[in-house]
Amino acid sequence: RVAHAFLFTGVRGVGKTTSARILAKALNCLNPPPVGSGQGAEPCLECAACREIAEGTDVDVREIDGASYTGVDEIRKLQESLPYRPTRDRYKIFIVDEVHMLSQNAWNALLKTLEEPPPHVKFILATTEVHKVPVTILSRVQRFDFKMIPSRLIADRIREVLQAEKIEADEHAVTLVAREAAGSMRDALSLLDQVIAFNPAH
């Protein structure tokens, strides 16, 4: 059985929102692998649903920024749309980023929604500050804690990017950028951009 609500928590840049999109693809893929194939719920990445979720244009998968969705009115509008079936996909999925930014009234309204959601609705909440999420919400979601990414894996990704961009780099520099990122892949790529821009040769 698939939970009706998930909570992804961890420091910034460790893949919470990206994982939320992957989960949305797995739930709504139009070409899922056959049962018993051993592939689980691997999304095909080629069907209309997978492509549109990646592009952010799927009408049944909405990404909401918690910072701009702080009021109770916004949550009520969301609640009003829940009874309607998805346009095409299997589920209507709401990805709420930085969910800890919601106001107390918005939390109360969301709690009612999480208690009795329609079967065709799934929520994926993401936050960097899980301690700000009310206990009443935590008790109604399936929680996943994202760990910081090891420097070794960050360095491997940096090498892949440099190779794709045909940029030569000193191994010590790659290690330094990976270490300075402190477990965040997003920070590592931002630092890499700055280093490349600083070098007049590129």
Helices (H), 9-47: 16-28
Number of C-alpha atoms within 13 angstroms, CB side, residue 69?
21
Q: Is-contact 122 4, C-beta < 8 A? A: yes
Q: Determine the Cα–Cα distance for residues 119 and 158; give it in Å rounded to an integer.
A: 41
Q: Is-contact 167 202, C-beta < 8 A? A: yes
In tens, the pLDDT along 156-175 reads 999 999 999 899 888 999 99
Note the pTM of the prediction, 2 decimals.
0.82
In tens, the pLDDT along 131-155 reads 999 999 999 999 999 999 999 999 9
Mean pLDDT, rounded, of the chain: 89
Neighbouring-strand partners of residue 121: 92
The structure tokens 């999304």 sit at 43
Q: Is-contact 45 25, C-beta < 8 A? A: yes
